[in-house]
Amino acid sequence: MKKRSLWLSSAAALLVAAVLAGCGGTFYFDGRVLPPSGLTHRVLIAIQNPSAYTRGALQFVDGYYDIRSSYDYKTPTFSIAGYSGNLPVSIQSMPEEQLAAVYAVGDGSLGLINYAQEKSTGSVSGLNGISSSVFATRNLAYVFAASQQLHVVTVIDQRNNRAFSLSLPGVYRVSTNPGGTAALFFVQNSDYAYYPLKLTATQTATFSGGPSHWPSAAVDCEPQNVPGFCLMQAQSPDTLDPTGMWTGAPLTFDRPVKAVWSADGSSAYVLSCGPECGGTAAAYSILPVAPLIFLDGQGSGVLPTTAQLASHTYPIPGGATNALVVSNTMYVVGQAPVSFGGNLYWGGNLTTVNLPNNSVSASVSISDGVPDGPSRMIVADDNTLWIGMTKCNNGIRANDPADYPGGYGCLTMYNTSTQKVVMLESYIGDLTGIAAVTGLHKIYVAQGGQVYIYNTTDGSERNNQYVTVTGTAIDVAYMDAITDTNNTVY
| Phi, psi dihedral angles at 352 (to 5 degrees) | -105, 135
Q: Where are the beta strands (DSSP E) in 411-471?
A: 411-415, 420-424, 431-437, 442-447, 450-455
What does the pLDDT read at residue 490? 59
Q: What is the pLDDT of residue 73?
A: 84
Contact 471, 49 (CB under 8 A): yes
Whole-prediction pTM: 0.93
pLDDT at 28: 78
Average of per-residue pLDDT across 180-188? 97
Write out pLDDT tens, residues 259-302.
999 999 999 999 999 999 999 999 999 999 999 999 999 999 99
At position 43, the amino acid (one-letter code) is V
Neighbours of 227 (CB within 10 A): 25
User: 468-471, long-range: CB within 8 Å, 24+ apart, which pairs?
Assistant: 469/45, 469/47, 469/50, 469/59, 469/68, 470/47, 470/50, 470/51, 471/47, 471/48, 471/49, 471/50, 471/51, 471/57
pLDDT digits (tens, 9 = 90+) for 92-117: 999 999 999 999 999 999 999 999 99
Confidence of residue 398 (pLDDT cuts 50, 70, 90): very high
Alpha carbon of residue 109 to chain centroid:
17
Is pLDDT at 3 greater than 80 in this prediction?
no
* Distance separating alpha carbons of residues 312 and 38, to the nearest angstrom: 50
Q: What is the pLDDT of residues 214-266, one digit of tens each?
A: 999 999 999 999 999 999 999 999 999 999 999 999 999 999 999 999 999 99
Strand segments, DSSP code E, in 138-293 are 142-147, 152-157, 162-167, 171-176, 183-187, 193-198, 218-222, 229-233, 239-240, 246-247, 256-261, 267-272, 283-288
- Considering only CA atoms, which of 108, 133, 86 is closest in space to residue 471? 86
Collapsed DSSP state (helix, strand, coil) of residue 207: helix
Which residues have CB under 8 Å from 430's CB, separation 6+?
Answer: 389, 390, 391, 392, 410, 447, 448
E runs forming strands in 109-228: 109-114, 119-123, 133-136, 142-147, 152-157, 162-167, 171-176, 183-187, 193-198, 218-222
CB atoms within 10 A of CB 190: 19
The total number of residues shown for the chain amounts to 490
What is the biggest distance separating any 2 CA atoms in the chain, rounded to whole angstroms? 79
